[in-house]
Amino acid sequence: MIKIRSIMTKEVVTISQNSSIVEAATSMSSKFVSSLPVVIEKDKPIAIITEKDIIKGAISKKKKVKDIMNKEFKIISTDARFSEVIKFLKEGKTERFIVMENERLMGLITETDVIQATRDFTRFHQMVQEAILAIFGFATAFFLFYFSPMGASVFG
């Protein structure tokens, strides 16, 4: 069972609701992230701001993060299962998940994290399949040789 703590982004870049949209955009750009949890104090998320929110804010000429931040986000535990995140994504209810533990901000899960984890699972599954095929291929070759006339003379 895959736990969220193994796929979440652990070094979360946050922003204050009183920051400017320019500060948010600069922070996203310099840290190569597409969203920022909006926090009061260090570990208390109250909203999330995304690249889309910044574009909407720039178009409507709003100046502060608090004017455009999105209060629709999902909080999940570090012990939540990957399948729970997938369920919420399929339902279209949210695209970003703030990960909390003991009322402390621990991480962030985005669609990018989910895609990367899915790629990793797929690669692992392919490697297991290839190993199984190699083992069965080797076993088949061994038994064909063992029961052949040449194998009988070697092992007989």
pLDDT tens, residue by residue, 104-154: 899 999 888 888 888 877 888 889 899 999 999 998 888 888 888 877 777
Distance in angstroms (rounded) separating the CA atoms of residues 156 and 144 = 15
Q: How far apart are CA 98 and CA 79, in angstroms?
A: 13
pLDDT, one tens digit per residue, over 59-116 is 877 789 999 998 888 899 988 888 888 888 888 878 889 999 988 899 999 888 888 8
- pTM score, whole prediction: 0.69
Confidence of residue 155 (pLDDT cuts 50, 70, 90): confident
d(CA 81, CA 99): 12
Chain-centroid distance, C-alpha 39: 21
Residue 27 token pair: 């922070």
